[in-house]
Each structure stands twice: as structure tokens, then as C-alpha cells.
Amino acid sequence: MTEITPSVPHEPTRFSVAAYFRLMETGELTERDRVELLEGVIVAMSPMNPPHAGSVTKVSRALLGAVGTRASVRTQCPLIVRPSSVPEPDVAVVVGCDDDYFNAHPESALLVVEVADSSLPQDRLSKSRIYARTAIPEYWIVNLRAGVLEVMRDPDPVAALYRELRTLRAGDRIDIAALPGTSIDVADMLPRTPPADEI
């Protein structure tokens, strides 16, 4: 009788930030691949459906109107979170101006926003840990499933979590914590149509 050895789950190859960008430079990865580096693993990003794309546009417009020239608002651009993550958040507010990032990607942010439908579990778990570990002061999730804005503040880099969690709805207003006076209507970042389901 042949003895069957139980299969061992394959451990994904881990990449450093430098190795990941080398794959881009050599053409092994291109912009068409729609991937990002999370905790050393190259992860495929979900295709962008119309609600996601529309919400990213609304968030970008709302933040640009509130922030003005006090910071740079970047849409779906790399954010280098060393040593092993290069997420491409849907929207990020970073220090400085647009011209500051022609030669290098930012390595931190004042605020990161992800628009989530099918990606909601990853955005709540994996990405919140990555952003908290890097001490990004504020992380928002536009939850398309429930039609709400999930706000995370007060990062604990050691525990890799945010200590303050709030859920805001249309009718609420919010400031970017690092930029006082940036009051934004939450409704300006949410879809007008009712949520598909409640979770």
C-alpha cells in the first residue's frame, strides 16, 4: 500500500519593496497587472466596478475641495510602507504638494481612504494593520455594502491597530484630524443609491 504524504500548503514568495520595484523596472510586472505589495506578498486588486469607480471620484473631489493647497491628494498611487508593503490606496492625502512626488513615492500619509465592496474584509483587516503599523494617523473606509464611512484613528504601531473606531453616515460631517478646518459632508463621499445590503 502506498503511503500518501499530506501536502504542505505553499508559502507565498515574499518580496521586499526594492525587489517589487525591480519587477516593475524589468517589465515582469506592469500597470496592467493591477497588483499591490502587502506584507511582502504581491496581491491582485479587485476589478473596479462602476460603484467603486464613482465613489473614488466622489472621495477625491470632496478631499480636494477640503484640502486645497494644504496637502497633496493622490488617487490610486503607490504608498511605500517599508519594509514590505506598497499599497495603492484609492485616495491618500500626503504632506507637501504634487510636485514633491515626481521623483519618489510618499512613505507616509496624513489620511488614507479605501473604497470597499468585495475588498471589505481585506481593507478592514490587512490594510488597517499595515496603515496602523506605519502610524498613519487616520484611515477611512467607504463601505459600499452598508453605505457608511468607517473612520479609524489613533494608531498603535506596536499592536498594528487603530484604537478609535467610528461609523458615520450621510448627514454627519468629518474633519481630517491632521488638517483642522477640513470639514467634509460624509454624504459627499457616499453613493446616493441605497446600499445593496447591510452588514
Residue 7 has pLDDT above 60, yes or no: no
pLDDT at 13: 80
Q: Where are the domains of the chain?
A: 49-189
Find out whether the peptide bond into 121 is cis, omega within 30 degrees of 0.
Answer: no
Residues 6+ apart with CB under 8 A from 179: 66, 67, 70, 71, 93, 110
pTM of the model: 0.88
Question: Under DSSP, is residue 88 helix (H, G, I), strand (E, B) or coil?
Answer: coil
Mean pLDDT of 146-175: 97
Q: Which of 1-5, 15-19, 59-63, 127-131 has the lowest mean pLDDT?
A: 1-5
Q: Which class would CATH give 49-189?
A: alpha beta
pLDDT at 198: 47
b/e per residue 47-58 (b: at least 16 CB within 10 A): eeeeebebbbeb
pLDDT at 118: 85
